[in-house]
Each structure stands twice: as C-alpha cells, then as structure tokens.
C-alpha cells in the first residue's frame, strides 16, 4: 500500500501526459514556454481570481508574496507554529520576525482568538510593526478566513493564504487560493495538485501585485531581461512541469471527489476509535493528508505498520521549537494546543486512487 500513489495516477493519465511532454520536447521552449501561460490561465479560472503567476516552488511563491508586500526588518508577520518550516522561513528570509500563533483544537488551523491576542501583545510591546498574517490551509482544510479577514481588517494587516496543502478546498463555494490579499500554493508531487518535480504559483486579484510578481520572478526585469528595474529572484516554472500540470488539473475535480470519498470512508470506520478530522459546515477539504489524533500514536502507528499500511507524522516539532527560531525566546507551554497536536497526530495514506487501488475495506483501519 502506498502512502501517496503517484504511479497509479500517472498510469491513469499516461497517454495524455506523455503527449503533453512530447509536445514540449518538439517545440523546445523549456523555460516559460506556451504551456506556462496556458496553465496560468487555467489556474486563475479554477481558483476564481484575476491572476495566477507560476514560479519554481511553493517556498518561492511565499517569498514572492513577502517581496510584493514589502515585508522587511522590523516587521512582524503572524503565522501558525504548527505547520511546515517554509511558512515562517520566508518571513525571516526577508529580515522580518515571525510571531507564532497557537492552533484551533478542532481544525488544527491557526486559531483566530489566539491570533488577535498575539497581535495585541505585539502592538503593546512596541518593538515590531505588525504587517501581515500568513494563514495555512493545513492538511487540505482552508483556515477560518471569514474570521481571520475581520482581524486583518481591524488591525490593517495584509492577509496571505498559504494554500500549499489546501488547493481544491473551499469555503461556501469560494476556492482555496482566492482568500486574502494574495495566496500561494505548491505543486510538490505530494500535494493535492502536484507536478513531477518542484513548482508553485501565486494568486491575486490585485493588478499591481500581479505585475510585480511577474517582474520579481525573473530577476526583477522590466521591459526585457536586460532591463532590470528591481532586485528579484530566479523562479520560473519549467514548461514540462506546466504541461504535466495541465493534464493533472483537468483530472483534478474527479481526483478531489475520490479523496473526499476515501476520507468519508476513513471517518465512518475510525470515528469511534480516534479523534477524526473536523470539516466545518460550508467547508470542503482537499485532503492533502488524513490526520488522526491518538493518545499513544507510536502504538497506533505500529499496528498499521504490521498490516502493511504506511503512516506519517506531520509535524512533530512546532515552529517555535525549531533550532532556527530559538532566539525568539518562546517557552514550553506558550502554544499548548499546537504542542499537544505535534505530539499526538499521525496521518494515513491519502490520494485520489485509494479506493480503487488499495480497497480500504481489506485493511482493519
């Protein structure tokens, strides 16, 4: 049994993907070829925003968002402590300070109540200038954007959606990637929509942001590559990856349906044994991971291993506990919910072909 069965998806789409790749090999435009613009148009249409700008990976997507928003030394950017390192890394990379926020016990996402407390404490301390919030769509479930946006507006903060895991999710029909001032995603192979290498994208309805993003991702170029009007980075999506993503995006709605069916089956069979994932009314998860809470997760993971079922831990060490952020001075107990989750969650296999290739009923899940 595969944790994420990329081979099964490739076999299902093989003829179409191979044809797309061959087209790129034939025209030879490997960097920023026509498939890149085609993909950007399709992504913008799917998400429901004016602009989708692709880049080399999800971390670069967040970095580009920080650059566009002018995040710099002396700024405070609020983000969850229970997430992947890149969310906070890009803040520090710009010289700003990540201010960590505890998790919501039910959804695992950033807690709006604790977020406002951290903003107020930062303002009262007066050492940093609050500038932005990065909310993460953890495990595929969009964060509580209706509440987070109210907080952002109240304190005049920019809101960034980190939809690396949330692509395909939604709140009341509004899709992940369309929340806040700017949103990002990753096309890492294990993501809900993944390519066969690295890739990422930034989404926005702001025309000015879109033009800046297009410049920043190619060395800060102006009218051509020898007219560099600002300091940028080199972060372009390869044309072959764009070609692959075009076919995977076309198949994505069915993949998303399959993921939700698999998640429903998991929940039906496991709800009496574990704390199963919560999907609030009006929300749709893209199920990047199906994550359980257990009192003794090591023992539970061992039981699954004995049946040939792989499991994974996301994320065993909170951001405030990472060596790179020790200088910020957080103490044990500062984020009780996040630390409890970090020591008790584990994830089961999840992909769009789970019910077809693995027949969950034959396992004692």
pLDDT one-digit tens code per residue, 50-93: 999 999 999 999 999 999 999 999 999 999 999 999 999 999 99
DSSP label at residue 326: G
Residues 355 and 278 in one domain: yes
**Single pTM value for the model:** 0.95
Would 242 be classed as within a structural domain?
yes
Residues 41 and 140 in one domain: yes
**Residue 258 domain boundaries:** 252-362
Residues 73 and 140 in one domain: yes
DSSP codes of every residue in 63-99: HHHHHHTT--TTEEEEEESSS-THHHHHHHHTT-EEE
Would 207 be classed as within a structural domain?
yes
In degrees rounded to 5, what are phi and psi of residue 104?
A: -80, 130
Residues in the chain: 365
Would 314 be classed as within a structural domain?
yes
Would 183 be classed as within a structural domain?
yes
Would 1 be classed as within a structural domain?
no
CATH number for the domain spanning 334: value is: 3.90.1150.10
> Which 3 state secondary structure label does DSSP give 195?
coil
Would 38 be classed as within a structural domain?
yes
Strand 182-186 relative to strand 158-162, pairing: parallel
If one counts the domains in the chain, the total is 2
List, for residues 257-292, the tens digit of each pLDDT value: 999 999 999 999 999 999 999 999 999 999 999 999
Residues 167 and 263 in one domain: no
Would 318 be classed as within a structural domain?
yes
Residues 193 and 220 in one domain: yes
Would 175 be classed as within a structural domain?
yes
Residues 207 and 307 in one domain: no
Among 184, 219, 247, the domain-final residue is 247
List, for residues 174-221, the tens digit of each pLDDT value: 999 999 999 999 999 999 999 999 999 999 999 999 999 999 999 999
């Amino acid at each position: 049994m595969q944790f994420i069965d990329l081979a099964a998806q490739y076999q299902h789409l093989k003829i179409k993907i191979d044809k797309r790749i061959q087209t790129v090999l034939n025209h030879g435009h490997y960097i920023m070829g026509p498939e890149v613009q085609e993909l950007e148009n399709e992504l913008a249409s799917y998400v429901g925003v004016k602009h989708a700008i692709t880049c080399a990976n999800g971390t670069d997507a967040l970095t580009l968002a920080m650059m566009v928003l002018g995040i710099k030394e002396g700024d405070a950017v609020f983000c969850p402590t229970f997430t992947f390192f890149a969310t906070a890394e890009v803040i520090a990379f710009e010289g700003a300070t990540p201010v960590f926020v505890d998790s919501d016990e039910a959804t695992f996402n950033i807690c709006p109540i604790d977020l406002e407390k951290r903003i107020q404490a930062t303002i009262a301390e007066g050492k940093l200038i609050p500038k932005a919030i990065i909310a993460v769509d953890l495990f595929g479930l969009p964060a509580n954007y209706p509440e987070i946006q109210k907080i952002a507006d109240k304190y005049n903060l920019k809101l960034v959606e980190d939809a690396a895991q949330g692509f395909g999710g939604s709140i009341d029909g509004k899709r992940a990637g369309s929340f806040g001032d700017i949103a990002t995603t990753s096309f890492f192979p294990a993501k809900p929509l993944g390519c066969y290498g690295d890739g990422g994208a930034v989404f926005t309805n702001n025309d000015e942001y879109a033009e800046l993003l297009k410049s920043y991702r190619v060395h800060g170029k102006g009218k051509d590559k020898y007219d560099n009007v600002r300091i940028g980075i080199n972060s372009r999506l390869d044309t072959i990856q764009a070609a692959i993503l075009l076919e995977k995006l076309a198949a994505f709605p069915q993949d998303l349906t399959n993921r939700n069916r698999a998640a429903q089956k998991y929940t039906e069979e496991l709800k009496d044994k574990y704390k199963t994932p919560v999907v609030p009314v009006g929300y749709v998860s893209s199920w990047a991971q199906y994550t359980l809470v257990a009192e003794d997760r090591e023992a539970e993971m061992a039981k699954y291993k004995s049946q040939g079922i792989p499991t994974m831990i996301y994320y065993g060490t909170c951001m405030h506990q990472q060596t790179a952020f020790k200088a910020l001075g957080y103490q044990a107990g500062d984020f009780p919910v996040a630390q409890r989750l970090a020591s008790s969650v584990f994830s089961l296999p999840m992909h769009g072909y789970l019910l077809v290739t693995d027949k969950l009923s034959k396992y004692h899940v």
